Amino acid sequence: MRVIAKSRLREFWEQHPDAKEPLEVWYREASAADWATPQDVKTHYRTASFPGCDRVVFNIKGNTYRLIVHVLYKFRTVYIRFVGTHSDYDDIDATTV
């Protein structure tokens, strides 16, 4: 998958250093993946949730942080839409970020 843009992850882990390793692992795994359907994501990330609008929510660092991406399966592209704390996540609509 082509992941756009790693810089959003980097900006986050600069503020939350404990998120760096789990986000880098997620980035490497997502970049190496070939997700054609949501089921492909779910096979590897059992706790991923799918709120709609081709969004996927990942739990990062034992659910300390949340990562929302928009996946264009046809084009094998993942857009990072949000990365934040669990409380930040509670204040947004995952389907519209």
Q: Write down the pTM of the prediction.
A: 0.95
Q: Which of 90, 68, 70 is nearest to 78 (CA)?
A: 70
Question: 45 is written with which tokens?
Answer: 């990330």
- CATH class of the domain at 2-86: alpha beta
Domain ranges of the chain: 2-86
* CA distance linking residue 96 with residue 26, whole number of Å: 22
- Predicted local confidence at residue 7, as pLDDT: 97
User: Could you read off the pLDDT of 10-37 as tens digits, one per residue?
Assistant: 999 999 999 999 999 999 999 999 999 9
